Amino acid sequence: MNIQRSPQLFLCLFFSLGLLSSGCQTGAAKLPLVEHNGIPLPSIAPMQQEFLSQPDAAAKYLRLSELEAQALALATDEPLRLGSVGSAILEIYPASITGHLVLEKFYRNLEASDTAQLHASWLSHLRNTVAHEANGSTEAPYTVFSISDARALLMTQGLLETGALYQNNIETPLGLTLLARENNDQPLRTLHYDLTPLLQPLSADLADAQTAQPNNPWPLLRELASSNDSAAQASIGTFLAKQNRFDAAISWLEVAARPGNVLANTLLARIYWFKAGAADKQESGQNPEDADHATPTAAEFKQLALENHLQAIALGSVDSMYALGRLYIEGFYGDANSAEGVTLLEQAGQLGKAEALLYLGHQFRTGQRLEANPDAAKQYLEQAAALQNPAAIISYARYLTSATGQESISAHERLMPWLLELAETDHAEAMVVLGNLSARGIAVPKSSRRALKWYKKAVRNAGSHHHGAAEIINEVSWTLATTATSSLRDSRYARNIMDKLMAADEAARDRPEYLDTWATTYAANGDFATAIDKQEQAIAKAMAQQRDDVLEILKKHLSKFKAGDRIVDPAP
């Protein structure tokens, strides 16, 4: 049985963001030299080491963090108050990016050009040090001394921070992710930082002898959270949410969201939606007189989810645009919001969220939630593919090969290059789709020979690389056993690959669809006795699994086998 696949669409929790790597750089590129009045500025690393080796380093670091946060809060509207706080910062730590940033601004406003230039030179030197062999990616994060220094760097780039979260894993015990944007028309940028060098020296002071653990970030994060560090508060909330301690998580995340942390808003929306579902189940089986009126109702939790999604959208979150767009279209906030849902999903798509365009394409294709519109379906799927998202490219190509009544259907001119690039990365499903396109003559001249080549290459690749090998083998086997095109049919090969799959894969033997394909390959080779036996196994499995969705077609196939007929599928 050929399994028809629609785009796999998931609402993703933001705390599934990729964890950071260590970012250790070993290149030999030389750090650019920065001078002031002909004198080279000192190396930053010894200054950091000197600070961290002090016996009271943790207390000084927390005071530094407090002053840096205060300085950044004053930087925009009260530049003349920056002198004292900037000087206090550099007295504690002379290599603070934040300290030099605010003092450069302070002295520039006073028109003290020589002193302003000194701090500008330091800023240039510090930026060069941070960016040396790093680019802010997960593979090469910037190494900074504090979250305020990371924020100060954003300011020098003309970027506005919209969210922050500390993260940790074995390789990077203390990482930081910042989301930022240049303007409302641009997608959020994700920048990664590594603060791991701070961790061991500071945590040793912050944890007592019994709780001290190497590379444990939580003592430091708790202190930062108590000092109103939104990223630390969001991190604690995220940790609690992962443990299903939702009420405690909400307390931390609501505090984190107050200064405008889109990551906190996004997770709050998810938690409130989960609690709405739980409350709805409880209310449906409860006597109204027994209700706890101090606990929010399902409707109130849904409203809280809506408010947090809207706040996240205002901060540029494409994930909330996608989530809320789907909720609108699927009627969770009433039946009059479909148009707004489409708008939100289009906006998310314009900002690079391929899943949003895939969802619209799927809805307009099937007519499940929106009125069926083949032209709109093709348009959205094509736009998603143009973002060069692998799943979107595959979905778009599958749509083209499954569309009916469109013999002259056209494909995006870049479709074949996109698929070929995927195939070069051993993407077995891309190879299957290339076979389908060749068999149908879409985007390339029709060629059964080329289609067979792609199908067999997909099977070879799936057997050794692909995590979904069974699906690939099942699809190719079905196609080659049931095609109406004689030059494409290869019944013996189809039976052989299904024999190998079913002998080796217990999970495949439990799938009625795969048993149906297996039986079909025997019928295609004229062995109807075996086909009937295997089809009866498929029907028994479907009945045991209550698979009413496939029972009718399985029984229809069994009737054909008993009549001595093979299955012929008109496509490809």
Evaluate whether residue 56 is within a structural domain. Answer: yes
pTM assigned to the model: 0.84
Cα dihedral 130→176→58→87 (10° resolution): 50
According to DSSP, residue 36 is labeled E
Burial of 446 (0-12, 13-18, 19+ CB in 10 A): middle
123 located within any domain: yes
Task: Give me the amino acid identity at 523.
Answer: A
Residue closest to 99 by CA, chosen among 130, 75, 77: 75
The answer to whether position 79 is within a domain reads yes
Please check whether residue 447 lies inside any domain of the structure.
no
Our CA angle for 155, 158, 162, nearest 5°, is 70
Whether residue 236 lies inside any domain: the answer is no
pLDDT value at position 464? 60
Judge whether 59 lies within some domain.
Answer: yes
Q: What stretch of H or E contains 88?
A: helix 82-92
Residues 200-209: contacts with CB under 8 Å, at least 24 apart: 201/52, 201/53, 201/57, 201/58, 202/52, 202/57, 202/58, 202/61, 205/56, 205/57, 205/58, 205/59, 206/58
Q: What is the CA radius of gyration of the chain?
A: 30
Residue 45 lies in a domain: yes
Distance CA 276, CA 292 (A): 15
Query: What's the domain range around 55?
Result: 40-132
Q: How many domains does the chain have?
A: 1
The answer to whether position 73 is within a domain reads: yes
Residue with tokens 């020589």: 114
Please tell me the predicted confidence (pLDDT) of residue 207: 65
The torsion of the CA quartet 30, 171, 99, 94, rounded to 10 degrees, works out to -70
Q: What is the pLDDT of residue 373?
A: 95
- Identify the pLDDT of residue 286: 65
Instruction: Return averaged pLDDT per consecutive 10 residues of the chain, 572 residues in all.
Output: 43 31 47 87 95 94 97 90 96 98 95 95 96 94 97 94 93 94 88 94 70 79 95 97 97 97 98 95 70 79 98 96 98 95 97 97 95 94 95 94 63 93 95 96 95 97 75 97 96 97 94 98 98 97 96 97 94 64
| CA distances from residue 400 to 185, 249, 253, 415, 434 in whole angstroms, order as listed | 31, 45, 44, 11, 12
Q: How far apart are CA 521 and CA 219, in angstroms?
A: 62
